Amino acid sequence: MAVGARSGHEEPEKRPDGTEGAPETGVPQAAGPPEQPPEDPSQRGSRGVKQKKQRSFWKELPILIGIALVLALLIKTFLVQAFSIPSASMQNTLLEGDRVLVDKLTPWFGSEPERGEVVVFHDPGHWLDDEPTPKTNAIQDALSFIGLMPSSQEKDLIKRVIAVGGDTVECQNTGPVKVNGKALDEPYIFPGNTPCGDKPFGPIKIPKGKIWVMGDHRQNSLDSRYHQDLPGGGTVPVSKVVGRAIVVAWPINRWSTLPVPGTFDQPGLSAAGAVAPPVAGLAGAVPLVLWRRRRLISKASQVG
């Protein structure tokens, strides 16, 4: 074989550093694309999907207002409602222009007015015939409907419950007011007034399902005393009661709760409570008497 000739099978040439490499062709090799990192499976399918634009505040505002109005209407109907004090009949407990919050929830569960509570009730019949109805505009009517403003169209009154169904109430001469024979200590009465005001009454037996109400300003309150000639004899049906006034909410400097005075918690005031001990004693004595009688009859038969 001639010097310098190669065989048909080329072997890789040895480089000066002793390593073997591919034969040089004189043409530079093109660089390959860089390796891509593995794709996150959670991001698959997100390509090409545009992010949703957030709604502007002005587009969401009507929705928020609508939700607020619905909530206000529900609260007014089932929970609490604001009422404005139109007169001085409850002075000084409540002043003209005060705003009170009335609990409308507990009556839904069968709760009835109790002695000493301040309650709002619908006109039971011709109590407010001589009272003018104030004029309002559409905005006031709308706000009153949803409970954001006291209603001026509804003929409602606010008084204190003095007696409930089953009680006997009276007030002779200048007082005091007596419920089931127990005299009431009434420090909430307007200074200078007497418990009977200028209208003594009674004794009156309050029918079941009715209440007897009086204003704290006794000489400036057309309450149960002044409507005894009407159907019901001055009493108010429990079904007419809207709810109990629980707090003075406005003005801020008048904020206060409206608790039941302690005089209504005195022992023996409740007519049911006064009758209960004798009835319970009689119920317990009857079985004992019957047992003793049977025993005596049994002994007599044995002797005979």
User: Residue 168 belongs to a domain with what CATH number?
Assistant: 2.10.109.10
User: In the prediction, which pLDDT does 41 show?
Assistant: 54
pLDDT digits (tens, 9 = 90+) for 140-165: 666 666 555 555 556 799 999 999 99
What average pLDDT score do residues 215-221 get? 96
Q: What is the mean pLDDT of the chain?
A: 77
Does 19 reside within a domain? no
Matching residue, tokens 């002043």: 95
Radius of gyration over alpha carbons of the chain, in Å? 44
Higher pLDDT, 53 or 18: 53
Under 8 Å between Cβ of 102 and 76 = no
Which structural domain, as residue segments, surrounds residue 145?
60-128+136-274
| pLDDT recorded at residue 117 | 97
Residue type, 54: Q
Give a yes or no: residue 12 inside a domain: no
Position 286 in a domain = no
The more confident residue out of 121 and 46 is 121
Evaluate whether residue 282 is within a structural domain.
no
**Residues labelled as active-site residues:** 89, 159
| Mean pLDDT, rounded, for 256-273 | 86
Three-class DSSP category at 263: helix
The structure's pTM equals: 0.64
pLDDT(5) > 50: no
Hey, what amino acid is at 175? G
| More confident site: 11 or 56 | 56
168: in domain: yes
In what order do the strands lie in the sheet containing 201-205? 182-183, 177-179, 168-171, 201-205
Query: For the chain, how many structural domains are there in total?
Result: 1
